[in-house]
A and B are shown apart, each in its own frame.
Chain A
Amino acid sequence: MYRLFLAVRYLLTRPINLLGMLGILLSVWALVLVVSIFSGFLVEIERHVRSASADVSVHRLPAWASGKALEQALRDDPNVRDVAPRLVHYGMLGRPGDRPQPPPLLGRTALHGGDQPFLLVLGVDAAAEAAVTGFAGWLRAPSIPPDLRVADPTAPLAAADGTPRVLVGLERMQREGLRRGDRVLLTTGRLQGDGDGQKGLQQISLELQVAGAFKTHHGGFDGNNVFVDREVLRQALFPDRPDAVQEIAVRLHDESTLSATTDRLQRLVVRALDRGDDLARGHVQGWRDKNGQFLRSVEHQRGLLKIVLVVIMVTAAFLMLATLSMMVTEKTADIGILTAMGATPLGVLQVFLACGLTITAAGVGLGLSAGTLTSVYLEEIRRFVLWATGVDLFPLQVYNLDRVPCALEPLWLLQVAAMAFATGAVVSAWPAWRAARHDPLVSLRGT
């Protein structure tokens, strides 16, 4: 009993120990809050990416692949609900006569992109696409102003008076001042075999009319893609191959078996494209894998932040080490009488260990509570700070969000608590050990 009693009395009479506790508190708080924001951010980003992706996509198809045959083969899988063939090409989009903008500095497009002149041109069948992705919804997104909306969302890519149409991401349209009905020029090229099997680049220019804007939650997708009718693109790129296909977007019945289905479809595609030469052709990817690089980069940033914050926690623990050491130095005078009254060196050790662990426990408890509370009420706090000081702590529109994301993970809370306790214990152990090694007779003989 005396261990706890003394530990508490020693602590209460020494407010300096609050410093150590404050250090632990702040670092635990930061670990909880920052990681919650990042986790929430990850969840949001994943949701955003998801909203712009097909469940599964089949790509890296050979030039001779037959769209019809592959589609049919895919449809035979029980988990495949619908498929949509795509042509995927690159190009530059600009007003006729305009020169393309110079490319932006590297890195600026890492998160969202959309301000570079190079684009992916997706050749799609509007109806098939709508059955497989959120395509139909992208045209009706509430944030699209009425004058930029597609006039007829049921046939958005149908040619108007002989000019094929193009769908452009909302942000790009607004930035470049494009309006519905504007004429734009898609400049691209294709490799062409001549008689000797050599290839040359042939420039292709397609005059298009802007049909309107589309908007997914994934800014990077909107900024880097435009949609045109698949048949228009095919005639420009592969005039002699009516069945050309470069990618097939697949929608599943049951998304929970995504990876199993992906594996199954991969085997199916390899079989369908087999020419008896044992070469595996075609690549099947679930939406998460396809965007894996992007998602992992955010995850990686979260990992780096964790490391930084844990280092801060260790630094805070040193503060505690300093105050505890001071206390032990001061309290060696008591060790003599405690021993005389029946304390063992182990008991003395436990007194000071209890001091350290009490500080740690208080810091962890308060830090977890503060972290949880600020995480839960983060959006309210942001609004309050914005209202009170005019400073926006978290500019939402930059990230395409409507509130500060936050995901509290109980496992992470446990990990933070465990780490804090481990550092607290290590840091308390040394002064406590010193106290236990102190010769009680020195205290008793001394004045």
Chain B
Amino acid sequence: MNPPVLEALAVTKSYRLGRREIPVLRGVDLAIAQGERVALLGASGAGKSTLLHVLGLLDAPTSGSVRFDGRPVHALPVAERARLRHRHTGFVFQFYHLIPELTALQNVLLAGMMATSTLAWWRGRRAARAAAEALLVQVGLQDRLHHRPAELSGGERQRVAIARALLADPKVVLADEPTGNLDSATAAGVVELMFSIQQQRRLAFLLVTHNEELARRCDRIVRMQDGVVVG
């Protein structure tokens, strides 16, 4: 077994609503190794998205730690956590979150701009553009490069989001119900695409889903209930 790339150790998370503390994660342990495909199942409100946000350094755990390549990262400074997100973690969400003002190509390119200065970007713009185009070709959108999100179907939008998540060549991809908004045929296409890329790039892949069948195609299934991992 490979050493884990991303680990949650005794992670708890509670939100404060007025004077009440609402526990959402109550001590979660989870490790994902390189090349491993993990499905996260659980009822609505179990805390799946919250765990994904904590693992992706978008949210800080109330207690416990998050480790990346064995290094605790949850308490790093804001800028450092942002850099790690950019460099090592790709996100795919249920609602695509493409920027409506940008074309498919620009949406993907934007991911490459996050950590470069204007000058450096300008120097490397050709290579960046080629890489973004190659990714869009890989997700099957060679004819949709210059379309705005509003001119794309749901499946196409999610493919753009996948290409965007991959541009910085991350080690980890966190996907929160990526097919939750798609019909089953389209969803199947998107799933095949994700799985093949995951295998090819040996990504550590966490897939949040409500779909048992989809979960069974993963290396491991983790079930959550009321903020704890149950199996």
A342-B83, A342-B114, A343-B82 are known contacts. Are A337 and B58 too (CB-CB below 8 A)?
no
Among listed A5-13, A108-116, A378-386, interface-contacting one: A5-13
A336-B97, A340-B56 are known contacts. Are A1 and B82 too (CB-CB below 8 A)?
no
- Chain B interfacial residues counted at CB < 8 A: 33
CB–CB A1/B121 < 8 A: yes
Complex CA–CA separation, A341 to B59 (angstroms): 14
Whether A377 is near chain B, meaning CB under 8 Å from some CB there, is no
CB–CB B49/A445 < 8 A: yes
A1-B121, A5-B110, A340-B58 are known contacts. Are A334 and B99 too (CB-CB below 8 A)?
yes
* Residues 82-113 of chain B, each 1 if its beta carbon lies under 8 Å from chain A, else 0: 11011100010101011101100010001101
Which residues in chain A, 325-363, are within 8 Å of chain B measured between CB atoms? 333-334, 336-337, 339-347
Whether A202 is near chain B, meaning CB under 8 Å from some CB there, is no
CB–CB B95/A340 < 8 A: no
- Chain A interfacial residues counted at CB < 8 A: 27
CB–CB B114/A341 < 8 A: yes
Whether B184 is near chain A, meaning CB under 8 Å from some CB there, is no
* Residues 61-82 of chain B, each 1 if its beta carbon lies under 8 Å from chain A, else 0: 0000000000000000011001
CB–CB B110/A2 < 8 A: yes
* Residues 107-142 of chain A, each 1 if its beta carbon lies under 8 Å from chain B, else 0: 000000000000000000000000000000000000
* Residues 153-183 of chain B, each 1 if its beta carbon lies under 8 Å from chain A, else 0: 0000000000010001000000000000000
Which residues in chain B, 28-62, are within 8 Å of chain A measured between CB atoms? 49, 53, 56, 58-59
Which residues of chain A have C-beta atoms less than 8 A from B120's C-beta? 1
Which residues of chain B have C-beta atoms less than 8 A from A67's C-beta? none
Whether B117 is near chain A, meaning CB under 8 Å from some CB there, is yes
Whether B116 is near chain A, meaning CB under 8 Å from some CB there, is yes
Which residues of chain B have C-beta atoms less than 8 A from A422's C-beta? none
Whether B2 is near chain A, meaning CB under 8 Å from some CB there, is no
Whether B196 is near chain A, meaning CB under 8 Å from some CB there, is no
Which residues of chain A have C-beta atoms less than 8 A from B137's C-beta? none
CB–CB B113/A2 < 8 A: yes
CB–CB A344/B78 < 8 A: yes
CB–CB A341/B58 < 8 A: no
B95 touches which one: A334, A341, A441, A447 (CB < 8 A)?
A: A447
- Nearest residue (CB) in B for A330 is B100
Whether A440 is near chain B, meaning CB under 8 Å from some CB there, is yes
CB–CB B95/A5 < 8 A: no
Complex CA–CA separation, A399 to B79 (angstroms): 64
- Nearest residue (CB) in A for B120 is A1
**Shortest beta-carbon distance, B61 to chain A, in Å?**
14
B114 touches which one: A2, A336, A445 (CB < 8 A)?
A: A2
CB–CB A440/B117 < 8 A: no
Complex CA–CA separation, A444 to B56 (angstroms): 13
Which residues of chain A have C-beta atoms less than 8 A from B87's C-beta? 342
CB–CB B86/A1 < 8 A: no
B58 touches which one: A333, A444, A447 (CB < 8 A)?
A: A444
Whether B200 is near chain A, meaning CB under 8 Å from some CB there, is no
Which residues of chain B have C-beta atoms less than 8 A from A441's C-beta? 53, 58-59
**Shortest beta-carbon distance, B189 to chain A, in Å?**
22
Whether A4 is near chain B, meaning CB under 8 Å from some CB there, is yes
CB–CB A1/B118 < 8 A: yes
- Nearest residue (CB) in A for B119 is A1
**Shortest beta-carbon distance, A218 to chain B, in Å?**
58
Which residues of chain A have C-beta atoms less than 8 A from B188's C-beta? none
**Shortest beta-carbon distance, A346 to chain B, in Å?**
8
Complex CA–CA separation, A1 to B110 (angstroms): 9
CB–CB A13/B101 < 8 A: yes
Which residues in chain B, 6-45, are within 8 Å of chain A measured between CB atoms? none
Whether B152 is near chain A, meaning CB under 8 Å from some CB there, is no
A2-B114, A342-B82 are known contacts. Are A337 and B56 too (CB-CB below 8 A)?
no
- Nearest residue (CB) in A for B91 is A340
* Residue among B78, B79, B82 having the largest count of chain A Cβ atoms under 10 Å: B82
Complex CA–CA separation, A333 to B101 (angstroms): 12
B116 touches which one: A1, A334, A340, A445 (CB < 8 A)?
A: A1
A9-B102, A336-B97, A444-B93 are known contacts. Are A342 and B78 too (CB-CB below 8 A)?
no
Complex CA–CA separation, A117 to B57 (angstroms): 88
Complex CA–CA separation, A5 to B107 (angstroms): 11
CB–CB A9/B58 < 8 A: no
Which residues of chain B have C-beta atoms less than 8 A from A346's C-beta? 78-79
**Shortest beta-carbon distance, A397 to chain B, in Å?**
56
- Nearest residue (CB) in A for B59 is A441
A444-B58, A447-B95 are known contacts. Are A345 and B110 too (CB-CB below 8 A)?
no
- Nearest residue (CB) in A for B99 is A334
Complex CA–CA separation, A345 to B78 (angstroms): 9
Complex CA–CA separation, A2 to B110 (angstroms): 6
- Nearest residue (CB) in A for B116 is A1
Cβ contacts A to B, 9 pairs, < 8 Å:
A1-B118, A5-B110, A5-B113, A9-B101, A340-B91, A341-B110, A344-B82, A444-B58, A447-B95
Q: Which 6 A-B pairs have the closest CB atoms?
A: A342-B86, A337-B97, A1-B121, A2-B113, A1-B113, A342-B114
A1-B118, A336-B97, A344-B82 are known contacts; what are 15 more A-B pairs with Cβ within 8 Å? A1-B120, A9-B106, A13-B101, A333-B97, A334-B99, A337-B98, A339-B58, A340-B85, A340-B91, A342-B82, A343-B82, A343-B114, A346-B79, A443-B97, A445-B49
